Amino acid sequence: MGDTYSPIPELNLLKEFDDECTDFYSPGFELREYGEGFWLDSENSEFDDRVIPFAQATMSGSLYALWRSDGRADLATLPVLFLGDEGDLYVVAHNLRDLFWDLLDEEFDGPAPTRQTYLDTRHAYLTWLKRNFGPTAPTFERSPMEEHGWRFVDWLLSVGEEDAADVVIENLDLFEVPRPA
């Protein structure tokens, strides 16, 4: 891989943009070492092999990670997980492009800063996003939790992460996502 940030072209584009920034472009978001970081207290290699952290999601230490839900070659199309610093866990985006657009939600990690450097960087991010991924956010028929949540629960149970599965089930209940028949 050499000096590239990750094996994912979309993340490498974001890293190049990020390296030029003088301020945050999304409250709490910060790229981290690709594939590094922990969330669970256990040392479950099956979990670690399929969950790939790549960014801090909040100022308090929550993470974004890709979930290798299957063997697809295009890692940018994998579901994105939110691994909360207080134990929360859910599927937050359908894929990286979906997450990139979601980063425009300024209320996710509290009120957005009002300083001019933040506003300028945020505008530059929006310009970057549109230039690289089109003028509008992708659309999906179902939310990420509706699309991937129960399959994620089943996978967590299959790798022995019952406590994590319970957290996702609580969130599925909160989001009123019924288990598919």
On the question of pLDDT at 181 being above 90, the answer is no
For residue 26, what are its two tokens? 């999304």
What does the pLDDT look like over 5-53, one tens digit per residue? 999 999 999 999 999 998 989 988 999 999 886 655 557 788 888 999 9
Helices within 103-159 (DSSP H only): 116-133, 144-158
For residue 85, what are its two tokens? 């610093």
What is the C-alpha separation between 74 and 79, in angstroms, rounded?
11
Instruction: Give the model's pLDDT for residue 109.
Output: 53
**For the residues 165-177, what does the mean pLDDT come to?**
96
For residue 159, what are its two tokens? 């790798």
Instruction: Give the model's pLDDT for residue 27.
Output: 86
In degrees rounded to 5, what are phi and psi of residue 157?
Answer: -65, -35
Instruction: Give the model's pLDDT for residue 108.
Output: 53
What does the pLDDT look like over 65-81, one tens digit per residue? 999 999 999 999 999 99
On the question of pLDDT at 177 being above 60, the answer is yes
Residue pair 27/59 in contact by the 8 Å Cβ criterion: yes
Structure letter (DSSP) for residue 116: H
Please name the amino acid found at residue 152: F
- H/E run at residue 63: strand 63-67
What is the C-alpha separation between 96 and 92, in angstroms, rounded?
10
For residue 105, what are its two tokens? 């939600």
Q: Which residues contact 49 (CB under 8 A, 6 or more apart)?
A: 68
- The edge-to-edge listing of strands for the beta sheet with 89-93 is 30-31, 51-56, 63-67, 80-83, 89-93
What does the pLDDT look like over 116-156, one tens digit per residue? 888 899 999 999 999 999 999 999 999 999 999 999 999 99
Instruction: Give the model's pLDDT for residue 1.
Output: 46
- H/E run at residue 73: none
Instruction: Give the model's pLDDT for residue 9.
Output: 97
